[in-house]
């Protein structure tokens, strides 16, 4: 038969009072320590003894002593109760100030763009916080995975999450290296993509993402083909810079290589806008100071 590990309601009632009496060997001194009346202490101890079915104290008009059962209960309940008090202090401490382990689920492409620039300054500003970054394209269940928050593109965040904007809206642009465009030409329309090597992204659900465009005021999608499928945007970025083909990538990721000439953008008039990147978490009532500190820090550095 499977044992039950459920703590019965009221099982801990009277334990603190018992420990105070056992340490003081006096109901009156225990009452003064706890800030209650001696009669309240006596009642709490009697109730505990009734639940346990055994006397814990021997009482005379001049002294209070422990029975054998009381001594055994004291020897085991004392350290256990101290651990409970310590556990409560740890929990309260996490709720009062920025401290503890902060776990974030983040796409790989976001790490160099948003996190790398602030990691050092955040660690210096909040030395009592341990920051753990789990870089993955997979959409994880924050609660089941033990994460405090996640960072994702806004369109992929569930509506029951609280979302905090980290970037402005930006375009998904098609880019390629100057050498590739010199060899294969610049596509002038979505149909031209059939003649090009297109580097594709596989989503966490296993589907290969179509390329999206805005044409005639309407969003359209194109199924493209090419020599490479990757599970993260940085891999596609590196392949595009190396001349492997065209890639459709988020604006913040291509800003630097476009600015320094390693990439050129095409089909700019058809680029679709996305809501931007957001940090998301289960709700304001569950936000601990460590997460609030991180949100404030990353927004101030943006």
Taking the domains of the chain in order of start, what are their residue ranges?
A: 15-96, 100-167+276-301, 170-274
- The confidence score (pLDDT) of residue 11 equals 58
Closest CA to 213 of 201, 205, 221: 221
- The confidence score (pLDDT) of residue 109 equals 79
Mean pLDDT of the chain: 87
Question: Quick one: average pLDDT of 272-276?
Answer: 89
Give the lowest-confidence range in 177-191, 251-265, 279-293.
Answer: 279-293
Whole-angstrom CA distances from 134 to 40, 94, 118, 150, 255 are 52, 22, 16, 9, 24
Q: 80-135, pLDDT tens digit by residue? A: 888 887 777 766 665 667 888 999 999 887 888 888 889 999 999 999 999 999 98
- Residue located via tokens 């006397």: 55
- The confidence score (pLDDT) of residue 136 equals 84
Question: Quick one: average pLDDT of 188-210?
Answer: 93
Contacts of the segment 42-50: beta carbons below 8 A, 24+ positions apart: 44/13, 44/14, 44/17, 44/18, 45/14, 45/17, 45/18, 45/21, 47/13, 47/14, 48/13, 48/14, 48/15, 48/17, 48/18
Fold classification of 100-167+276-301 is: D-Maltodextrin-Binding Protein; domain 2 (3.40.190)
Domains 15-96 and 100-167+276-301 share a fold: no
Question: Quick one: average pLDDT of 48-60?
Answer: 87
Q: What are phi and psi of 174, to 5 degrees?
A: -90, 125
Check pLDDT > 90 for residue 285.
no
CATH dotted code for 15-96 = 1.10.10.10
CATH class of residue range 170-274:
alpha beta
């Amino acid at each position: 038969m499977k044992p039950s590990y459920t703590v019965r309601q009221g099982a801990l009632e009277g334990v603190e009072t018992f420990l105070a009496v056992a340490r003081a060997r006096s109901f009156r001194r225990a009452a003064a320590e706890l800030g209650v009346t001696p009669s309240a202490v006596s009642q709490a101890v009697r109730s505990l003894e009734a639940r346990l079915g055994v006397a814990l104290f021997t009482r005379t008009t001049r002294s209070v002593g422990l029975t054998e059962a009381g001594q055994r209960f004291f020897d085991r309940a004392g350290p256990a109760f101290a651990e409970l008090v310590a556990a409560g202090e740890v929990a309260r401490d996490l709720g009062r100030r920025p401290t503890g382990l902060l776990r974030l689920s983040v796409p790989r492409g976001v790490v160099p763009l948003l996190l790398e620039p602030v990691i050092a300054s955040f660690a210096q500003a909040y030395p009592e916080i341990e920051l753990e970054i789990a870089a993955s394209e997979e959409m994880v269940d924050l609660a089941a995975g033990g994460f405090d928050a996640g960072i994702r593109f806004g369109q992929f965040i569930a509506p029951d999450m609280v979302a905090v904007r980290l970037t402005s809206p930006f375009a998904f642009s098609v880019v390629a290296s100057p050498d590739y465009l010199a060899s294969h030409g610049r596509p002038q329309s979505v149909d031209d993509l059939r003649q090009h090597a297109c580097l594709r992204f596989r989503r966490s659900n296993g589907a290969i993402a179509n390329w999206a465009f805005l044409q005639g005021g309407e969003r359209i999608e194109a199924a493209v083909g090419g020599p490479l499928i990757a599970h993260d945007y940085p891999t596609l970025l590196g392949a595009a810079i190396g001349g492997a083909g065209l890639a459709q990538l988020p604006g913040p990721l291509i800003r630097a290589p476009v600015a320094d000439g390693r990439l050129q953008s095409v089909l700019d008039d058809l680029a679709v806008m996305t809501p931007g990147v957001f940090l998301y978490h289960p709700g304001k009532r569950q936000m601990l100071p460590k997460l609030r500190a991180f949100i404030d820090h990353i927004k101030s550095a943006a």
